[in-house]
A and B are shown apart, each in its own frame.
Chain A
């Protein structure tokens, strides 16, 4: 099946620094990628939808300037957490969809655990 990778899988950073998380679709072209955040013992929360070549659509309550999303190619989307704070510590998961005419499955990455000290 299709594979979506995320890098890094684990990151620890100091408060005030920026962290970039990459999401790649390895064997298919992803027209749309989603970014989710999961808090402990809670469901995934959709942060933003990213379509290749256009601006990301952010969900209500998600700060655009805080969480910068770039979907520069059909196989890569990046999420940059700017000026990270301890409350940004979380598990971030991306997912990708290829061409909907050929399938209906959203493939998830393995997630990135961010710890801000």
Chain B
């Protein structure tokens, strides 16, 4: 059973507008969430993360929102640019008692297409 779900396989947004990518998770023990961006034939690139003690984290054009009660997080990109066209993966993790995080559980990704 998939613990991290990205229900939209693709999303098309006009350049300059806001892109909103959604992610849902089922394991309430997850307490650390990350978004990655991936171009074809390359490894993922870390974008932004949020821990469960926060509900918002902002970095430039990227903002991640976390709704723990709904087990939902979203990535907002404002304004969207052509270079943002890529596959975006949402990932979740448990932090173990030693202070580190276990492996990440990834969603299947959303292909974001920015139209000129």
Contact = CB atoms under 8 A, between A and B. Distances in A.
A97 B32 CA distance: 14
- Size range of the chain A interface in the assembly: 20 to 34
A6 B108 CA distance: 23
Interface of B is mostly: loop
Interface in A1-49: 6, 31-32, 34, 42-44, 46, 49
A44 B101 contact: no
A104 B101 contact: yes
Contacts of A32: 100
A49 B104 CA distance: 10
Given A43-B106, A111-B41, A31 B100 contact: yes
A34 B42 CA distance: 16
A106 interface: yes
A106 B104 contact: yes
Interface of B: 32, 34, 36, 41-46, 49, 51, 89, 98-109
